[in-house]
Amino acid sequence: MQYDVEYIRNQFPALKVTVNGHPAAYFDGPGGTQVPERVIEAMVSYLSNCNANAGGYFKTSQESDQIIAGARCALADFLGSEADEIAFGQNTTTLIYQLALALGRFPGRRNEIIITEIDHEANRGPWQALEEKGFIIREARFDPESCTLDLEDFKAKLSENTLVAAFNYASNAVGTISDVGEMARLTKEAGAISVVDAVHYALHGPIDVKAIGVDYLICSAYKFFGPHIGVLYGKREPFSALPSYRLQVQLDGIPHRIETGTLNHEGIAGAAEAVEFIADIGDRFGAISCVSNPGGHNCPDRREKILAGMQVLEKYEQPLADKLLKHLAAIKGVRVYAPPAGQPRTSTVSFTVEGISPDRVTEILGEKGIFAWNGHFYALRLVERLGLADKGGLIRIGLSPYNTEAEIDRLLFEIEAVAGN
């Protein structure tokens, strides 16, 4: 079945918002997508029907436990792991802090940590904090010309002293997708632990933690139609031995050893439903469909539907991103910051407009009901390396499955006006 953007849009209550008579056009997806009704309902249903703490011998606690166990299975299908390798936390930043605290707890012979200049601060700051414990932090270079990570530099920085290499799957500022499979392989070859920030990538492509061979991978459900919680994949070994800080009453097996305190149960219920939403897209619009063949013996399992769903979304978004890139680049005074054609990238496009600050541009767009972010988006080092840190950073347009070509035309019209063309 052909991708039906109206079917998708009808599921998002937030798309009814208007500003000064203009329908809202949400290009703020990399800061967090909108949430489908079914995800909202799953959270409300949790709170209405089975709100309880974990591990009790009564109905609501048992149902709550089942929902959380089911959510681990759903997120495992999303990332390609086993259910007990999935832990939940407050958000990605907090999960990476917990990981860094644990991995840096008992300094040994390996006293170097590699971070990158292309990363969000969430995968830099927690590791830099380990300098206090005597760790040496090495930064792999970002090339501002090509907007890509310098893989050779990353490789050169790995050594027998490396404890951890922390890098992102895709840049939330310029959309560049890095070769994480190769980076994880090089990290493993050096005997070090890989920690991948997949927050930006998670909305834009299928993830297979086993195929890329990472040790830890973290993402946040609010970037892929879910509520504000973080999700951590930890490879069984070394996760089982992670020396995390935890209470003596806390379960110490995986995945619990990094889950401090009571989890966000309703958020977990919502995250699982967000995965079902993606699976449903794969089912409806992907190559093999149970919707058109209900009960058919060829019906794929949830993992296959999720993979198909991610493919459907990118197939829809990439041509829109190409159009946006092409037309933006043609506007006088606009400078696009993007990887070269052919380099893997998400549908996120960033740019500046000569003579007008990014915050003023997004303010003008905001008045017209066009929602976009400006600034450094916490990818501070990257924006510094682009020479834009003292110029207000970038304007970022993030495409999500509910965006339409008409919205892009509206956006381009306003940018042309702002640029004085």
Binding site for ligand PLP (CB under 6 A): 91-93, 120, 122, 168, 172, 197, 199-200, 220, 230
Of 223 and 257, CB closest to ligand PLP: 223
Min. distance of Cβ 76 from ligand PLP in angstroms? 19
Name the token pair of 3: 């991708």
Of 286 and 398, CB closest to ligand PLP: 398
Min. distance of Cβ 315 from ligand PLP in angstroms? 23
CB within 8 Å of 244: residues ≥ 6 apart: 98, 101, 102, 257, 258
Of 28 and 283, CB closest to ligand PLP: 28
Of 28 and 276, CB closest to ligand PLP: 28
Min. distance of Cβ 329 from ligand PLP in angstroms? 24
Largest CA distance in the chain: 68
Of 110 and 200, CB closest to ligand PLP: 200
Confirm if 408 and 349 have CB atoms less than 8 A apart: no
Query: Going by DSSP bridges, is the β-strand pair 216-220/193-197 parallel, antiparallel, or unpaired?
Result: parallel
> Which value, in Å, is the radius of gyration of the alpha carbons in the chain?
22
Min. distance of Cβ 259 from ligand PLP in angstroms? 16
Q: Where are the strands (E) in 41-161, listed by range?
A: 86-89, 112-116, 136-140, 142-143, 148-149
Residue 82, classified by CB atoms within 10 Å of its CB into exposed (0-12), middle (13-18) or buried (19+), is middle
Of 100 and 122, CB closest to ligand PLP: 122
Of 92 and 352, CB closest to ligand PLP: 92
How many Cα atoms are found within 13 Å in the side-chain-facing hemisphere of 57? 0
Closest CA to 163 of 99, 70, 94: 99
Min. distance of Cβ 186 from ligand PLP in angstroms? 21
Residue 269 backbone zone (phi > 0: left; psi -120 to 50: alpha; other: beta):
alpha
Q: Indicate the Cα dihedral angle 161, 164, 165, 170, nearest 10°.
A: 180
Min. distance of Cβ 221 from ligand PLP in angstroms? 9
Min. distance of Cβ 410 from ligand PLP in angstroms? 25
